[in-house]
Amino acid sequence: MAKLLVKLRYNGTNYVGWQVQKNGLSVQTCVQDAIEKIYGIRCDVTGCSRTDSGVHANGYCFCFSLPFDIQPYKVISALNFALPEDMGVVDCFQVSDDFHPRYNAVAKEYIYKIYDGYTRNPFLNGLAYHYIGRLNLKLINDTASEFTGKHDFRSFMAKGSKITDTVRTVFYCDAKDMEDYVQIRICADGFLYKMVRIIVGTLLAVNEQKIDKNQISDIISAKDRNKAGKTAPPEGLYLSKVFYDIKEVENANA
- Per-residue model confidence (pLDDT) at position 160: 86
The reply to whether the predicted model has a pTM over 0.75 is yes
CATH topology for 107-245 is Alpha-Beta Plaits (3.30.70)
DSSP code per residue over 70-122? --HHHHHHHHHHHS-TTEEEEEEEEE-TT--TTTT-SEEEEEEEEE--SS--T
- Per-residue model confidence (pLDDT) at position 254: 77
Indicate the CATH number of 2-95 among 3.40.50.1820, 1.20.1050.140, 3.30.70.580, 3.40.50.720: 3.30.70.580
Quick one: average pLDDT of 7-13?
98
Q: How far apart are the first and last CA of the chain?
A: 39
Tell me: the pLDDT tens digits for 202-248? 999 999 999 999 999 999 999 999 999 999 999 999 999 999 999 99
**How does residue 82 score in pLDDT terms, banded at 50, 70 and 90?**
very high
The residue count for the chain = 254
Is residue 1 over pLDDT 90? Answer: no
- Per-residue model confidence (pLDDT) at position 186: 98
Q: What percent of the chain has pLDDT over 70?
A: 100
Q: Is 69 a catalytic residue?
A: no
- Per-residue model confidence (pLDDT) at position 187: 98
How does the average pLDDT of the chain come out, rounded?
Answer: 96
Q: Do domains 2-95 and 107-245 have the same CATH topology?
A: yes
Tell me: the pLDDT tens digits for 139-173? 999 999 999 999 999 999 999 888 999 999 999 99
The residue annotated as part of the active site, out of 33, 44, 52, 245, is 52
So where are the chain's domains?
2-95, 107-245
Is residue 184 over pLDDT 80? Answer: yes
- Per-residue model confidence (pLDDT) at position 150: 98
Contact of 252 with 109, CB cutoff 8 Å: yes
Kindly provide the residue ranges of all beta strands, DSSP E only, lying in the chain, ordered along the sequence: 2-10, 46-47, 56-66, 87-95, 107-115, 129-130, 149-152, 167-177, 182-188, 237-243
